[in-house]
């Protein structure tokens, strides 16, 4: 059974997904570069421009592939178009684009009456000021079609609007942009805990996999510094939460595949932040495996091949991931980990920063400001957090120089 994979992503964040899928599928990788660390998990590969759907379709015609999958946010639209062109399972390309384009998401949800933040699209500072007067402070500015919280900033007052608007409008990220850069959303700030729901979808029917509770830092930015999944979390079966997630996907037209939906649990109930038409990032599926025993990567491959998702929890534990950051922008010399000093609950402790790499904290960098990650599994959230604290002391960043 051959599965087409569009881009493999970074080793630190996606290698475990590729390894899992390779245990059940022959994987042919379509990528912009020659594979390196991916090679042991591949049955073949083709190097081409993965923004060129016609070229990918031509490369795929000689392969007996049964499905197309990506976990790269910048390739979800191309993947949907490729699947449609090959007559393979997948969500409609226009639905993938609605998820990628945050303004299109808001418009679709608004038409369907799905609870979400009030949102106004602007392209200039005068427009942003007028929108802010309607939305009210505090508010959130976010680029229309970026990911990883890049350029997203909370604005407390009119005095901070101009500087924050320039930051949001100038934000960029690598990868293809299906939406022209520069557009910014002025949005109502939603108070309350932020969670994410990863779920498999087959012909419009949802099978929830896990709910992760997000930890953020570096205010007023929304840097995701960690996540926690409790296998016994009542949110996983909460009817109101699942109803909102289902309604949001119906509104954007998403039918088949895997999504990572972010929400705020406000005093008025759950509100949609955004829908990502791919498997969750930040090692969230990995801690989902540790907490519940479910294999998100393999299940995502199943639905990409048109099979019903198989998601049966085998465990009810708690698992978490934490990302480590330097005190200031710097250039890394090395990351040292003392295995003997790690608690027994640690599943992985991995360096992210490479020697000579620039590490920049928000707002100068998002995600790239991390130098290591740690995952743990235990019997309670308190234990996981305490063990993460202890494990963090066993990981040291050696700085070449400050920036």
How do residues 271-309 score in pLDDT, each as one tens digit? 999 999 999 999 999 999 999 999 999 999 999 999 999
Please say if the pLDDT value at position 180 is more than 80: no
| 6/85 same-domain check | yes
For 34-49, how does the pLDDT look when each residue is reduced to its tens digit (9 = 90+)?
999 999 999 999 999 9
Q: What is the pLDDT of residue 293?
A: 96
Per the structure, the complete domain to which residue 175 belongs is given by 118-188
For 222-237, how does the pLDDT look when each residue is reduced to its tens digit (9 = 90+)?
999 999 999 999 999 9
Nearest partner of 325 among 355, 359, 277, 375, judged by Cα: 359
pTM attached to this predicted model: 0.95
| 7/79 same-domain check | yes
Residues of the chain with pLDDT > 70, as a percent, come to 98
- Report yes or no on 83 lying in a domain: yes
Mean pLDDT of 321-333: 97
Q: What is the pLDDT of residue 351?
A: 97
| 131/84 same-domain check | no
Q: What confidence tier does 173 reach under pLDDT thresholds 50, 70, 90?
A: low
Please say if the pLDDT value at position 148 is more than 70: no
Please say if the pLDDT value at position 18 is more than 60: yes
Q: Where residue 124 sits, what CATH number does that domain have? A: 3.30.1490.20
- Report yes or no on 60 lying in a domain: yes
**The total number of residues written for the chain in this structure:** 403
Please say if the pLDDT value at position 368 is more than 70: yes
Number of folded domains that form the chain? 3
- Report yes or no on 167 lying in a domain: yes
Q: How far is CA 6 from CA 21, 76, 105, 274, 377, in A?
A: 13, 9, 23, 22, 31
Mean pLDDT of 151-166: 94
Residues of the chain with pLDDT > 90, as a percent, come to 90
More confident call, 1 vs 98: 98
Q: What is the pLDDT of residue 174?
A: 66
CB neighbour burial string for 295-331, b if at least 16 within 10 angstroms, e if fewer: bbbbbbbbbbbeeebebeeeeebbbbbbbbbbeeebb
Rounded to whole angstroms, the Cα distance separating 335 from 362 reads 20
Please say if the pLDDT value at position 182 is more than 80: no
Phi, psi of 127, rounded to the nearest 5 degrees: -65, -40
| 327/385 same-domain check | yes
- Report yes or no on 236 lying in a domain: no
For 349-361, how does the pLDDT look when each residue is reduced to its tens digit (9 = 90+)?
999 999 999 999 9
- Report yes or no on 82 lying in a domain: yes
- What 3-state DSSP class applies to 316? coil
């Amino acid at each position: 059974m051959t599965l087409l994979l569009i881009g493999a992503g970074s080793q630190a964040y996606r290698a475990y997904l590729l390894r899992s899928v390779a245990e059940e599928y022959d994987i042919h990788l379509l990528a912009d570069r020659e594979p390196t660390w991916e090679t042991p998990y591949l049955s073949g590969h083709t190097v081409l421009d993965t923004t060129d759907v016609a070229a990918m379709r031509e490369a795929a015609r000689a392969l007996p592939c049964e499905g197309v999958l990506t976990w790269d946010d910048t390739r979800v639209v191309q993947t949907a178009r490729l699947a449609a062109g090959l007559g393979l399972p997948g969500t409609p390309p226009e639905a993938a684009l609605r998820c990628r384009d945050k303004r299109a998401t808001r418009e679709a949800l608004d038409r369907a009456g799905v609870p979400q933040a009030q949102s106004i699209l602007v392209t200039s500072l005068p427009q942003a000021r007028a929108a802010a007067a309607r939305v009210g402070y505090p508010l959130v500015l976010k680029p229309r079609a970026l990911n990883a919280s890049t350029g997203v900033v909370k604005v407390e007052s009119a005095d901070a609007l101009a500087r924050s608007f320039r930051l949001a409008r100038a934000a960029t990220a690598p990868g293809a942009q299906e939406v022209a850069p520069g557009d910014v959303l002025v949005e109502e700030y939603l108070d309350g805990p932020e969670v994410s729901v990863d779920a498999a979808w087959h012909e419009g029917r949802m099978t929830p996999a896990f709910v992760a509770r997000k930890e953020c830092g570096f205010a007023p930015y929304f840097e995701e510094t960690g996540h926690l999944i409790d296998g016994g979390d009542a949110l996983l079966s909460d009817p109101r939460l699942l109803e909102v997630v289902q309604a949001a996907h119906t509104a954007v037209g998403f039918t088949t595949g895997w999504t990572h939906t972010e929400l705020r649990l406000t005093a008025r109930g759950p509100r949609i932040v955004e829908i990502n038409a791919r498997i969750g990032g930040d090692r969230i599926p990995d801690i989902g495996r540790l907490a519940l025993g479910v294999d998100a990567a393999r299940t995502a491959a199943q639905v990409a091949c048109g099979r019903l998702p198989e998601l049966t929890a085998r465990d009810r534990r708690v698992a978490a991931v934490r990302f480590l950051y330097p005190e200031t922008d710097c250039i890394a010399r090395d990351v040292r980990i003392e295995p003997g000093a790690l608690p027994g609950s640690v599943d992985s402790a991995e360096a992210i920063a490479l020697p000579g790499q620039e590490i920049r904290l928000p707002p100068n960098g998002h995600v790239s400001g991390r130098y290591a990650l740690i995952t743990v599994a235990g019997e309670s959230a308190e234990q996981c957090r305490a063990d993460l604290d202890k494990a963090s002391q066993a990981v040291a960043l050696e700085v070449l120089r400050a920036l």
